[in-house]
A and B are shown apart, each in its own frame.
Chain A
Amino acid sequence: MSYGTMFKGKNNNVCFSENAPSIVFMGKAANTNVYGPTLNARGFTYQYRYSSGYASHIFDSTSPINNQVVAGIALAYNREIIGDGGYGGGSSYVVRNDDGKVAKYTVESYEKPIIFTRYGNPTVMGGLVVKIEDSGSNGPRGWNIWNVYVWLFYSTPGQWAAAANSLELYCFSRMDPNYTSSSTYGLVVKDAAGGTMFHSDVKPAKIQEIMQITTGTNPAVDFSSTLLDSTGTVFSSMSKPAYLSQDWGRLVQKVGSGNNGFEYHQTPFSLSYVSGDDFAANFGNATLFRLTNSTAADSFIGAPKIVFPIIDGADYD
Chain B
Amino acid sequence: MSYGFKLLDASGNTTMSTDDFGIQIVDDFTVASGNSGSRTYTELAYHNTMFATTMSDIPGTVDHKKVSSHSFLAITITTNSSNVPTVSWVPSNTEGCRIQNGGYYISAGAPQQVKPDTRIIILAG
- Flag B1-25 by CB within 8 Å of A: 1 or 0 each: 0001101010000011111111111
A301 to B70, CA, bound (A): 11
Q: Does B53 contact A (CB under 8 A)?
A: yes
B15 is contacted by which of A12, A206, A228, A309 (Cβ under 8 Å)? A206
| A-chain residues with CB within 8 Å of residue B54 when the two chains form the complex | 246, 303
Dominant secondary structure of chain A at its interface with chain B:
strand
> Contact between A131 and B58 (Cβ–Cβ < 8 Å)?
yes
| A-chain residues with CB within 8 Å of residue B92 when the two chains form the complex | 302-304
Q: Does B108 contact A (CB under 8 A)?
A: yes
A206 is contacted by which of B18, B20, B93 (Cβ under 8 Å)? B20
Within 8 A of B (CB), among A70-112: 80, 82, 85, 90-96, 98, 102, 111-112
Within 8 A of B (CB), among A226-266: 228, 234, 244-250, 265
Interface residues on B, range: 35 or more
Q: Does A17 contact B (CB under 8 A)?
A: yes
Q: Does B75 contact A (CB under 8 A)?
A: yes
Closest partner residue, chain B, to A94 (CB atom): B103
A265 is contacted by which of B62, B95, B101, B107 (Cβ under 8 Å)? B95
Closest partner residue, chain A, to B65 (CB atom): A42
A162 to B48, CA, bound (A): 42
A203 is contacted by which of B9, B46, B48, B72 (Cβ under 8 Å)? B9
CB proximity of B68 to chain A, nearest CB, Å = 8
Q: Does A31 contact B (CB under 8 A)?
A: no
- Flag B61-72 by CB within 8 Å of A: 1 or 0 each: 010110110101
> Contact between A47 and B104 (Cβ–Cβ < 8 Å)?
yes
Say whether, besides A9-B21, A11-B22, A210-B23, A245 and B55 are in contact (CB < 8 Å). Answer: yes
Q: Does B26 contact A (CB under 8 A)?
A: yes
> Contact between B53 and A94 (Cβ–Cβ < 8 Å)?
no
> Contact between B62 and A131 (Cβ–Cβ < 8 Å)?
yes
> Contact between A204 and B16 (Cβ–Cβ < 8 Å)?
yes
- Flag A202-234 by CB within 8 Å of B: 1 or 0 each: 011111111010000000000000001000001
A115 to B51, CA, bound (A): 17
> Contact between B49 and A13 (Cβ–Cβ < 8 Å)?
yes
> Contact between B24 and A14 (Cβ–Cβ < 8 Å)?
yes
> Contact between A205 and B25 (Cβ–Cβ < 8 Å)?
yes
| A-chain residues with CB within 8 Å of residue B102 when the two chains form the complex | 47, 90-93
A39 to B19, CA, bound (A): 48
A305 to B15, CA, bound (A): 30
> Contact between B48 and A13 (Cβ–Cβ < 8 Å)?
yes
A244 to B119, CA, bound (A): 12
A36 is contacted by which of B46, B55, B62, B108 (Cβ under 8 Å)? B62
A42 to B106, CA, bound (A): 9
Q: Does A145 contact B (CB under 8 A)?
A: no
A19 to B25, CA, bound (A): 12
Closest partner residue, chain B, to A301 (CB atom): B95
Between A15, A39, A98, A206, the greatest number of chain B beta carbons within 10 A of the residue's beta carbon is seen for A15
Closest partner residue, chain B, to A132 (CB atom): B57
Closest partner residue, chain B, to A129 (CB atom): B55
Q: Does A274 contact B (CB under 8 A)?
A: no
> Contact between B21 and A228 (Cβ–Cβ < 8 Å)?
yes
Interface residues of B (CB under 8 A from A): 4-5, 7, 9, 15-26, 28, 43-44, 46-49, 51-58, 62, 64-65, 67-68, 70, 72-75, 92-93, 95-108, 116, 121, 123-125
Question: Other than the known A22-B24, A114-B55, A309-B25, what 15 A-B pairs have Cβ atoms closer than 8 Å?
Answer: A9-B17, A13-B48, A20-B124, A39-B64, A42-B64, A82-B97, A91-B101, A93-B104, A207-B25, A228-B21, A246-B56, A302-B95, A303-B54, A309-B23, A309-B123
What are 25 sample pairs from A and B whose C-beta atoms fall under 8 A apart? A9-B20, A10-B4, A13-B125, A14-B125, A19-B46, A23-B25, A42-B106, A45-B105, A46-B104, A58-B107, A82-B97, A92-B101, A92-B102, A94-B98, A96-B67, A114-B55, A128-B56, A149-B62, A187-B7, A200-B7, A246-B53, A249-B93, A301-B72, A305-B75, A315-B15
